[in-house]
Amino acid sequence: MNRRFWWLDTSDLALARAKLDAVRKKQLSTWDWISWDEQDFRSPQEAELSLMRELGIASMFSDGKVICCQGLPTFHHKIAKSLEEIPEGILLVVMAPVDKTTSLFLKSSKDEQKFKIDMVDDISKPKAREAFVADRAEKMGVRMDAEACRVLSEMCGNSHDMISSELKKLKAYSEDGVINASDVQAACVGDGDAALFELSTLILCKEAGAAHEWMKRLLITTDGHAVVGYLCNWARVMCILSSVKLDSNRARNVASGLYKLEKVDERRARRVPMYPNTGRFYHAAREMQEASLPVYWPWLVMAECHRLELATRFMTAKEDFAKETHRFIERILAEEEPSSLRPLPIPAVVKEPKDRRKTKKYEVIDEVKAND
C-alpha cells in the first residue's frame, strides 16, 4: 500500500467510523492497528516522542501497521514536516475535523497518491442539507418525502452527526420505516443541546427544585455564558410565539425574516438568518400550550434574561455566576403580574484608556435578496 497518511473528517463521525471499519476489515485486515490519543500522556513532549517513535518503526510480525490518532495532535506542524519520511508499510490516520489552515492539510493535499484527505460534504446551504438528509435516510433504511427532509434539515442545522442521530431515532419511532413531516416534528427535538432543552422544559413546567438542580449540573459541564445565551434565545422564541398567539407556522414565517451579522474575519461580516432551524418553534409552542402560561409571561422572562446577561457579563467567580443564575430561576417562577418588572441592574465597568479603545467597521457581505 502506497498511502502513508489519511485524514478522516469526523464532522460526520458515523461516516468516518464506517469508512475506517471497512478498511480495517477488508484492505488492511492483516495489519496491526494501534489507537493513539495525546490525552493518554503526561505532557505534549512525551506524546510527540511516542508518536514519532511509532512512525519510524515498522511492524515486525504483520504486513504493516496503522496508527489511528484520536483527534489532531497539538504538534501537527511537526508531523507535516515528517510526512515524506513515513516508511512503506505504515499508515498514519488522523480522526479529527479537517482544518484547512494547518500546514498538515497543505502538505498532505499536494500528493494524492501518498496522502488522502477525506472531507465531508458541505451542507451549509439548505438545498445541499436537504439532499444530504434524503441520501443518509435512504442508506439507513428510512423512507422520507421532500417535506420531511426539509423539516429535519431545519431542525438539525449543519450538524452531520445530529442528522444521523435523529434519523436513528426516527427509524425506531416508525413501525414501517416511512416518515412524514409530522413524525419529524413529533419525535425530534431540533437544534440546541439536550441538557439545555431539559432546563427550559423544567422551568415551563414550574418544577422549581428540579430546575435548580439541573442548572447546578449544567454549570459544572457547560460554559455559563453559553447557558445564559441559550436562555436569552429561548425567551426570544417564546416572545415571538406569544406575539402570534402560539401559532407555530406564523412564528416560523416571522422568524424566517429575521437576520443577524456573523463575523467572517477581522474586516468582513455577513448577514445570516437568526433562526436557520425554525422547526424549534413547533416544540416551543406545544410546551407553552401544555403549560397554560399567561400571555405576558414570556416578556417577563425576556426582561429577566437581559437582567441576567448584564449581571453576569463581567463575572469571573463561578460561585457568583451560579448564585445569579439561581436567582434568575427564582424570579421568573415567582412572576405573576406584569407590574412586578424591576429595573435592570447596570454593572460597574472600568473604562479603558482612549488609546486602547477601537471602533471596528465591518464590510457586510449580504447574501440575502434585497427584497427579503
Q: What is the pLDDT of residues 186-235, one digit of tens each?
A: 677 554 445 677 788 888 888 888 889 888 877 876 788 888 988 998 99
In contact, 3 and 113? CB cutoff 8 Å: yes
Q: Give domain 5-118's CATH number out of 3.40.50.300, 3.90.1560.10, 3.10.110.10, 3.10.580.10.
A: 3.40.50.300
- Domain locations in the chain? 5-118, 126-187, 194-254+280-308+315-345
Please report which confidence band the pLDDT of residue 369 belongs to, taking 50, 70 and 90 as the band edges.
Answer: low
Span 24-45, pLDDT tens digits: 988 898 999 999 988 888 888 9
Task: Please name the CATH architecture into which domain 126-187 falls.
Answer: Orthogonal Bundle (1.10)
Work out the average pLDDT over 335-347: 47
Q: How high is the pLDDT of residue 345?
A: 46
**Beta-strand relationship, 115-118 and 90-95:** unpaired
Task: Please name the CATH architecture into which domain 194-254+280-308+315-345 falls.
Answer: Up-down Bundle (1.20)
Span 52-99, pLDDT tens digits: 999 888 888 888 999 999 999 999 999 999 998 898 889 999 999 998
Do 194-254+280-308+315-345 and 126-187 have the same topology in CATH? no
3 exposure class (CB count in 10 Å sphere: 0-12, 13-18, 19+): middle
Residue 339 has pLDDT above 60, yes or no: no
Q: Does pTM surpass 0.95?
A: no
Cα–Cα distances in Å, from 266 out to 173, 259, 269, 360? 46, 20, 8, 8
Q: How high is the pLDDT of residue 336?
A: 52
In contact, 151 and 279? CB cutoff 8 Å: yes
Look over the chain and give the mean of its residue pLDDT values, rounded to a whole number. Answer: 82
Please report which confidence band the pLDDT of residue 366 belongs to, taking 50, 70 and 90 as the band edges.
Answer: low
Residue 159 has pLDDT above 90, yes or no: no
Quote the CA–CA distance of 311 and 228 in Å, as a whole number. 11
Q: How high is the pLDDT of residue 316?
A: 76
Q: Which residue has the higher pLDDT, 305 or 153?
A: 305
Report the first-to-last Cα separation within the chain, whole angstroms: 54
